[in-house]
Chain A
Amino acid sequence: MGKTIAQKIFDDHRVGTPDADVQVIRLDAVFCHEITTPPAIVDLERRGKDRVFDASRIKVVIDHVSPAKDSKTALQGKILREWARRHAIKDFFDIGANGVCHAIFPEKGFVRPGYTVIMGDSHTCTHGAFGAFAAGVGTTDLEVGILKGVCAFKSPETIRINITGSLPAGVFAKDVILSVIGRIGVGGATNKVIEFAGPVVAAMDMESRMTLCNMAIEAGGTCGICEPDRVTVDYLWPFIKDQYDTPEAALADFSRYLPDADAVYANTIDHDVSALTPMVTYGYKPDNVKPVSEMTGTPVDQVYIGSCTNGRISDLRVAAKVLEGKQVNAGVRAIVSPATPKVYAQALEEGLIKTFMDAGVCVTNPTCGACLGMSNGVLAEGEVCASTTNRNFNGRMGKGGMVHLMSPATAAASAIAGSIANSPLFNG
């Protein structure tokens, strides 16, 4: 019987089967940030288990509140820094070198096809874009990951979503994933892995695939995962060129993790995007999705472009293209947070930052920022944000605030209009 990508990865990493459908797998990487890791460190110390399984496989970033905003967040950073120093964790990204975890770790080449990755952050599923099994976990799983290099999961049942047809101009990966979540619901993939495949995914660059996989969790998915292919190899080539003679050799090696033709799926969905239009959420659940055209004119107080979903250079390029020569509406405050220093530097070099500033956008340092309402860009009661982030939960960006999720193109267009609007890149 054929196997899915996740089943093949589990077969390679299994160290125990404590129950009929539970597998304990060895971890190739444990990622950490300053919000969920300090409680794990403090608990390990309390238990007399202040150890790490392999310092070279632990990668750490300060990203959620950066720079620290108060004494409590300063303490979180301090605990993380001292722990990393104590255990000689080399890959530690602090102020000046730090960016959003799910953007910076791929950028450093830390994820490979076939890897197993956990992090105390639900959007860890982003890294599945590389053909890895990457899952968000709580602090206790993280703690065990740090200590023992293992984690327990249910045997990975998989939903295959074939994205078919062709994507219309001005419609992006964000619109695709919003439409998928709208179709299967916020619990549609609970306890399951989502394999994103089909011609539209094959034609996507890695950044678009990361956007797709990033929001697998919003449908309850354990992980989103894409087939490793030439696009994956080309992205990773600077990091793997010492291991392989040619990109073709890397591709052949990674093909171990392609799903078998007769792989068994929990279900298979063909999702044709040929007639898809830009999408936006309404209400407080990510599956409350509508075409932008049905929400046009909804006033917004703030526009936020950034986060692990859409703060990469390709996102900033699209936003800048829409904002070029235009002005942010007088009634709106617009914020752009480049996801990493590399994205920021590239945006500077390409003149995108100047475009944003000329348009009246506030550009922040790389950080998770406004996305989860625990640092800058918090909404006041009753305020509305047009956002490229991944969650529209009640109170997400601040108590009493409303968040509408959308692509960077739609967010930029909404900044100019002062209300939700389709971008000129879409001619539907």
Chain B
Amino acid sequence: MKSFNGKVLFLDRSDINTDEIIPAKYLTEISREALAPNLLEDLKLDGFDPATDIQGKAVVVTRANFGCGSSREHAPWALEVNGIHLVVGESFARIFRQNMFNCGMMAVELPADTIDELFTTFAGRETTAETDFKGGAITFSADGASRTVPFAISGFDADLVNAGGWVDYADANY
């Protein structure tokens, strides 16, 4: 199973699209690893610098409709090869969300007020997330602050995470 623990990257914007996550010009790559340096390089977000802000992060916390646009699985792959296996947001575009679980990663939806609270409490601070997959909770911690939020994913999504993705699951079941 992938790791859903580590430092948090806060992206305070809705509708972050797949072209911003990984521009189309890199879709000529066959290997996932080649995408690593180009994650989020076209993201329009004040105060965000991909050159310095991504390194060492393992979890993204963002707003609504993350991953809208293209079906390109290169978007989850670009996160994956940077060691980011969990995106927490208010909502996700369907294909992006499915692609995450299909790769054994997680796109976790939380209520808007919870997301708001996470931004208010933790954005701009060195924050760590620790995920209790079985217990269905993520604990966010920064110096002097800690907050545990419950999350729910469907049984099918959990099966995909446990199986490491959809290919082996589907070949075994259909």
Pick from B17, B166, B167: contact of A152, CB below 8 A: B166
Cβ B44 vs Cβ A394 within 8 A:
yes
Asked if A362 is at the interface (CB within 8 A of a chain B CB), the reply is no
Interface string of B25-43 (1 = CB under 8 A from A): 1011110100000000010
Across the interface, which residues of A come within 8 angstroms of B44, CB to CB?
A: 284, 394
Q: Is the CB of B23 within 8 A of A399?
A: yes
Q: How large is the interface on B (under 10, 10 to 19, 20 to 34, 35 or more residues)?
A: 35 or more
- Give the contacts of A106-162 with B (CB-CB under 8 A): 119-122, 124, 136-141, 143-144, 147-148, 150, 152, 154
CA of A374 to CA of B27, assembled, Å: 8
Interface flags, A190-223, vs B, CB<8A=1, else 0: 1100000000000000000000000001001010
Which of A5-13, A68-76, A329-337 has 4 or more CB atoms under 8 Å from chain B?
A68-76
Chain B: minimal CB distance from A156 (Å): 11
Point out the residue from A121, A138, A186 that lies within 8 Å of B65, measured CB to CB: A186
Which of A70, A121, A122 gathers the greatest number of chain B CB atoms within 10 Å?
A: A122
CB-defined contacts of A152 to chain B, threshold 8 Å: 98, 156, 166, 170
Contact A187–B64 (Cβ < 8 Å): yes
Contact B72 A373 (CB under 8 A): no
B25 touches A140 (CB 8 A): no
Q: Answer whether A79 and B30 are a contact pair too, CB < 8 Å, given A147-B171, A187-B65.
A: yes
Tally inter-chain residue pairs, CB-CB below 8 A: 152
Distance, CA A64 to CA B70, complexed state (A):
13
Nearest-neighbour CB distance to chain A for B31, whole angstroms, equals 8
Q: How would residues 369 to 410 of chain A score, 1 for a CB under 8 Å from any chain B CB and 0 otherwise?
A: 000111000000000000000010111100100000000000
Cα distance, A124 to B92, chains bound together (Å): 19
Distance to closest chain B CB from A243 (angstroms)? 28
| In the complex, B124 has a CB within 8 A of chain A | no
Minimum Cβ distance to chain A for residue B11 (Å)? 14
Query: Whole-angstrom distance between the alpha carbons of A143 and B24 in the complex?
Result: 20
Bound-complex Cα distance A337 to B97 (A): 33
- What string of 1s and 0s marks CB contacts (under 8 Å) between A17-59 and chain B? 0111110100000000001101100111001010000000000
Chain A residues closer than 8 Å to B64, beta-carbon distance: 187
Decide if A65 is an interface residue (CB 8 Å cutoff).
yes
Which listed residue, A76, A154, A374, A391, touches B69 by the CB 8 Å rule? A391
* Count of chain A residues with a beta carbon within 8 Å of a chain B beta carbon: 61
Nearest CB of chain B from residue A125's CB, rounded to whole Å? 10
* Per-position 1/0 for B67-108, Cβ under 8 A of A: 011111100100000000000000111110011001100000
Q: Quick check: is B120 within 8 A (CB to CB) of the other chain?
A: no
Pairwise interchain contact A393-B69, C-beta atoms closer than 8 A: yes
Q: A15 on the interface (CB 8 Å rule)?
A: yes
Q: Flag whether B155 is at the interface (Cβ < 8 A).
A: yes
Report the Cα distance A70→B30, complex, angstroms. Answer: 14
Among residues of A, the one whose C-beta sits closest to the C-beta of B155 is A19
Do the beta carbons of B27 and A35 come within 8 Å of each other?
A: yes
Question: Which of B98, B155, B156, B167 contacts A43, CB < 8 Å?
Answer: B167
Partner of B170, one of A43, A144, A399: A144
Docked pose: A15 CA to B19 CA in angstroms: 34
For window 265-303 of chain A, which residues contact chain B by CB distance below 8 Å?
284-285
* Chain A residue contacts of B17, Cβ below 8 A: 393-394
Contact B174 A39 (CB under 8 A): no
Q: Is the CB of A137 within 8 A of B15?
A: no
Q: Is the pair A22, B154 in contact by a Cβ cutoff of 8 Å?
A: yes
Q: Find chain A residues with CB under 8 A from B28 CB.
A: 35, 65, 70, 72-73, 76, 374
Does B52 interact with chain A (Cβ within 8 Å)? no
* Bound complex: CA A44 to CA B170 (Å): 13
Q: Across the interface, which residues of A come within 8 angstroms of B95, CB to CB?
A: 122, 136-138
Neighbouring B residues of A124 by C-beta, 8 Å = 71
What chain A residues lie within 8 Å of B53 (beta carbons)? none
In angstroms, Cα B72 to Cα A137, docked, is: 8
Q: Which of B14, B27, B29, B98 contacts A138 (CB 8 A)?
A: B98
**What are 12 A-B contacts with C-beta separation under 8 Å?**
A22-B154, A24-B174, A47-B168, A72-B28, A76-B28, A122-B95, A141-B98, A144-B170, A186-B65, A190-B68, A190-B92, A394-B17
Residues of A within 8 A of B (CB): 15-16, 18-22, 24, 35-36, 38-39, 42-44, 47, 49, 64-65, 70, 72-73, 75-76, 79, 119-122, 124, 136-141, 143-144, 147-148, 150, 152, 154, 186-187, 190-191, 217, 220, 222, 284-285, 372-374, 391, 393-396, 399
Known: A47-B168, A65-B28, A147-B171. 15 other contacts (CB 8 A): A16-B174, A22-B156, A70-B28, A73-B28, A76-B28, A122-B72, A137-B98, A140-B167, A147-B170, A186-B68, A187-B14, A187-B15, A190-B92, A220-B68, A372-B19
